[in-house]
Amino acid sequence: GAGVSQSPSNKVTEKGKDVELRCDPISGHTALYWYRQSLGQGLEFLIYFQGNSAPDKSGLPSDRFSAERTGGSVSTLTIQRTQQEDSAVYLCASSLPAGTHNEKLFFGSGTQLSVL
Amino acid sequence: GDSVTQMEGPVTLSEEAFLTINCTYTATGYPSLFWYVQYPGEGLQLLLKATKADDKGSNKGFEATYRKETTSFHLEKGSVQVSDSAVYFCALSDQLGSSASKIIFGSGTRLSIRP
């Protein structure tokens, strides 16, 4: 497709289970971002990739959260031992190489995660 | 660290009113500044941007000027329409180096326009 694709669009899980969220960026976009949007809240930065490396992981809320990107394309965000406070919309965005003053982010539709 | 602060909503205006949504930032370097918009049921999309001091970004009748002296990037529109109802996010690009940037968003301001 032409846009950023995220799957699943909705995920309901039980507390304590692990979940894996997937993001497929726009072809050719080397920068990839994960954000979290809680109900009524703004966008919380989680992690950013330039190619396959993550220069800044400071936004990950705890060691239960991890992310990887392989082949400079698809990224997965994994949340282990989910808690109710993890419930939110997880947004992925991609952009052309940074540092070119062209940091326009293209967002996916998000994954709505509900932890029961 | 770098941060973005924007006025809390919700903001409710009548159609054709003048709009200002305040945004100020804290940054150690020379960030690029952005306004993103999220219309009901849609994903976030870039509204406008400015990459250096005194630059003015504009789109769809909205404007924002990069003010380095006041570290601000306020969003303005002279005459709002019902279709402008959305959540608006101010953001900055944290230039970590020549090849990387982290984009930080404010908390968002919900705007509702009455017919």
pLDDT higher than threshold 80 for residue B67: yes
> What is the reported pLDDT for B70?
96
Lowest mean pLDDT of A24-33, A35-44, A62-71, A77-86, name the range: A35-44
pLDDT higher than threshold 90 for residue A46: yes
- Summarize pLDDT for A58-108 with one digit per residue, the tens: 899 999 999 999 888 999 999 999 999 999 999 999 988 755 556 789 999
Q: What percent of chain B has pLDDT over 90?
A: 75
Pairing of strands B109-114, B11-14: parallel
> What is the reported pLDDT for A36?
96
Question: Do A105 and B51 lie within an 8 Å CB cutoff?
Answer: no
Tell me which residues of chain A have a C-beta less than 8 Å from any C-beta of chain B.
31, 33, 35, 41-43, 45, 48, 50, 55-56, 91, 93, 97-99, 101, 103-105, 107-110
pLDDT higher than threshold 70 for residue B96: no
Residue B71 vs residues B8, B28, B66, B98, B102: alpha-carbon distances, Å: 18, 11, 8, 22, 18
